Structure 1
Amino acid sequence: MIINVKEKDFEFNSSSLSQRCFEPLIKIYKVRMSEETTIGVKEHFYEELTEGQRALFMFNVYSNHISKSLIEFYWWSAYFLAQPKIWASIKSCFTYFHDEPFLLLLEKIEQELKRHNHPTTLENFAITRDELNDNNELHASFESLYAIFENIYPTTIEKINTFIEKNLQEFIQIEK
């Protein structure tokens, strides 16, 4: 699903390139979700994307949810881990963008959640945001993981923007 963008409407400032390539995708996604009632709409949308768009979409889905606070970082990580296909897609996006530090962070998050017996399917998912504050050990480990996230996130954004700039045809089509 290559998005066509008029050259005059597209600024090539690489600091926000990933966001500008993501915005049309999320708009299409939201329209489809509001119009479609059939099962599989999400999967069909995802299948239409190029490999680069999939990586960008999953990066934004994950980072937009987890970046708000420590509690959101914890809860959304647990929620996505409980959906194996989504968790695998999140991990593969960092492989696609060659972001080893973020991939290692995801591995640590996964290990920590499993160590505390968090569910790996939605069938048994009853995790609340309060659980982070109720478990001192879990809280301390996620504080450490969130600090890593905050430290590596700016570099991740830079890597993704640089990657998109070098592979623009994988994300959008510039029209004259």
Structure 2
Amino acid sequence: MLVKMKKQGFNLTASDLSDKCFKPLIHLYKMGISNETDTTQFKEQFYMQLSQGQKALFVFYTYYNHANNSLIEFYWWSAYYYAQPKSWLALKASAKYFEDKSLLVLFEKIEQVFLQNNYPNTLENFTVIREDLDKNKEIQASIIALHTMFDQITPLTVRKINDRIEKNIQEFVELID
């Protein structure tokens, strides 16, 4: 499902290239999901229609755009993705796809914190709330350190993603005249 975009005005070296490629995908996703009663099936079908590059881009930005807002959002969205094994694996796969070892290590460290503290790995058992972070100082200290890593790593990640798109535009969008 390659999104068609006009060549005119499309700057392959723009610093927001990855965001420009993500926005049409999230727009299609939101339009589609608003019309569905079975959202789980829609999510899976939508994701399966994406190219490998689009999958990596989509899962990274759906996580990043939420987790990037604050420490508490980083904590909650990480726990939420972790509680969805397919999504968590896809997030780690996106780091591998963009050849971002630092991001993959970060995801593995997040996973270790959640494993050690018996966080739910399914949505059926998911009861994590944002306020939980204030209740456990040990987890809070771990999450603060991981969030600091996240803030340091992700600007480089976005550059790597932009570089990948610039060199492999056909995996992300179809440029038309």
TMscore range, shorter length: over 0.9
Cross-structure match for 1:17:
17
Paired with 1:146 and 1:123, the residues of 2 have a C-alpha distance of 26
Cross-structure match for 2:97:
96
Paired with 2:14 and 2:48, the residues of 1 have a C-alpha distance of 27
Aligned amino acid, residue 30 of structure 2:
K
1:43-82 to 2 correspondences below 5 Å: 43-82=44-83
Q: CA deviation at 1:133?
A: 0.6
Tell me the TM-score normalised to structure 2 length.
0.96
1:128 corresponds to 2:129: yes
8 Å CA contact 1:14–1:165 kept in 2: the answer is no
Cross-structure match for 2:164:
163
Q: CA deviation at 1:171?
A: 0.4
Paired with 1:82 and 1:140, the residues of 2 have a C-alpha distance of 21
Q: CA deviation at 1:38?
A: 3.3
Q: 4+ residue stretches of structure 1 with deviation over 3 A?
A: none
Cα distance 1:38–1:124, how it changes in 2: closer, same or farther (>3 A)?
closer
**Structure 1 residues 37-70: Cα deviation after superposition (integer angstroms, max 9, x where no partner):** 2350111110100000000000001101111111
Tell me the TM-score normalised to structure 1 length.
0.97
Paired with 1:29 and 1:9, the residues of 2 have a C-alpha distance of 24
Cross-structure match for 1:151:
152
Q: CA deviation at 1:113?
A: 1.1
Secondary structure of the equivalent of 1:5?
Answer: strand
Q: CA deviation at 1:36?
A: 2.3
Paired with 2:37 and 2:128, the residues of 1 have a C-alpha distance of 27
Secondary structure of the equivalent of 2:8?
Answer: helix
Secondary structure of the equivalent of 1:14?
Answer: coil
Q: CA deviation at 1:14?
A: 2.9
Q: CA deviation at 1:9?
A: 3.9
Aligned amino acid, residue 50 of structure 1:
S
8 Å CA contact 1:80–1:87 kept in 2: the answer is yes
8 Å CA contact 2:13–2:166 kept in 1: the answer is no
Aligned amino acid, residue 90 of structure 1:
L
CA RMSD of aligned residues (A): 1.0
Cα distance 1:38–1:116, how it changes in 2: closer, same or farther (>3 A)?
closer
Q: CA deviation at 1:116?
A: 1.2
Identical counterparts, % of pairs:
48
Aligned amino acid, residue 106 of structure 2:
L
Q: CA deviation at 1:32?
A: 0.4
Paired with 1:174 and 1:79, the residues of 2 have a C-alpha distance of 35
Name structure 1 gaps, 5 residues minimum. none
Paired with 1:123 and 1:30, the residues of 2 have a C-alpha distance of 24
**Structure 1 residues 134-165: Cα deviation after superposition (integer angstroms, max 9, x where no partner):** 10111011110000010111111100000110
